Structure 1
Amino acid sequence: MTSRTAELTDLASHYNEHGYVLVKGLLSREEAAAYRQCAHEALATVGGHENPTWDSAAGLAGGAPTRLQHLHDVQFHSAAFSRLLTDERFTSVAAAVLGGPNVQLHHTKLFVKPPENGSPFPPHQDHPFFPHTHHRVAAAIFHLDDAPQEKGCVRIVPGNHHQGPLEHVEEGSYHLPDVPFDAAVPLPAEAGDVLFFSYLTVHASGVNVSDEARTTWLVQFRDPADPPAVRAHDHSLGQGMMLAGVDPTGRRTG
Structure 2
Amino acid sequence: MTVTSAKPDLSTLAHQYAEDGFVLVKGLLSKEEAAYYRQRSHDLLAQLNSNEDATWKSAMGLSDGATRLQHLHDAQFYDAEFSKLVIDPRFTDVAAAVMGVDNVQLHHTKLFVKPPENGSPFPLHQDYPFFPHKYHRMGAAIFHFDDAPVEKGCVRVIPGSHKDGPREHEAEGSYHLIDPPFEAATPQPAEAGDVLFFTYLTVHGSGVNTSDEARTTWLIQYRDPADPPTVKTHDHSLGQGMMLRGVDPTGRSAV
TM range (shorter): over 0.9
**Contact 1:53–1:65 under 8 Å retained in 2:** no
Q: Deviations over 1:106-145 (max 9, x none)?
A: 0000000000000000000000000000000000000000
Among 29, 32, 55, which residue is 1:30 paired with?
Answer: 32
Query: Corresponding residue for 2:125?
Result: 124
**Contact 1:139–1:198 under 8 Å retained in 2:** yes
Query: Corresponding residue for 1:155?
Result: 156
Shift of 1:81: 0.5
Shift of 1:178: 1.6
SS in structure 1 of the partner of residue 123 of structure 2: strand
Query: Corresponding residue for 2:11?
Result: 9
For 1:84 and 1:100, locate their aligned partners in 2 and report how far apart those are by CA, in whole Å.
20
For 1:137 and 1:5, locate their aligned partners in 2 and report how far apart those are by CA, in whole Å.
23
For 1:52 and 1:95, locate their aligned partners in 2 and report how far apart those are by CA, in whole Å.
29
For 1:206 and 1:123, locate their aligned partners in 2 and report how far apart those are by CA, in whole Å.
10
SS in structure 2 of the partner of residue 84 of structure 1: helix
Change (3 A) 1:4 1:177: closer
Query: Corresponding residue for 2:115?
Result: 114
5+ residue gaps, structure 1 = none
For 2:56 and 2:80, locate their aligned partners in 1 and report how far apart those are by CA, in whole Å.
31
**Contact 2:54–2:70 under 8 Å retained in 1:** no
* Matches for 1:105-254 after TM superposition, within 5 Å: 105-170=106-171, 172-254=173-255
5+ residue gaps, structure 2 = none
Shift of 1:232: 2.4
For 1:174 and 1:202, locate their aligned partners in 2 and report how far apart those are by CA, in whole Å.
12
**Contact 2:21–2:161 under 8 Å retained in 1:** yes
Change (3 A) 1:4 1:216: closer
Among 30, 47, 50, which residue is 1:48 paired with?
Answer: 50
Two-structure CA RMSD over aligned residues (Å):
1.6
Equivalent residues, number: 251
Shift of 1:6: 7.7
SS in structure 2 of the partner of residue 170 of structure 1: coil
SS in structure 2 of the partner of residue 57 of structure 1: helix
TM-score normalized with structure 1 length = 0.96
For 2:219 and 2:130, locate their aligned partners in 1 and report how far apart those are by CA, in whole Å.
15
For 2:35 and 2:138, locate their aligned partners in 1 and report how far apart those are by CA, in whole Å.
28
Shift of 1:58: 0.8
Give the % identical residues. Answer: 70
Change (3 A) 1:53 1:76: closer
Shift of 1:53: 3.4
Change (3 A) 1:166 1:84: same
For 1:46 and 1:12, locate their aligned partners in 2 and report how far apart those are by CA, in whole Å.
38
TM-score normalized with structure 2 length = 0.95
Q: Deviations over 1:178-227 (max 9, x none)?
A: 22001110000000000000000000100000000000000000000000
For 2:8 and 2:119, locate their aligned partners in 1 and report how far apart those are by CA, in whole Å.
38
SS in structure 2 of the partner of residue 169 of structure 1: coil
Letter in 2 for 1:18: D
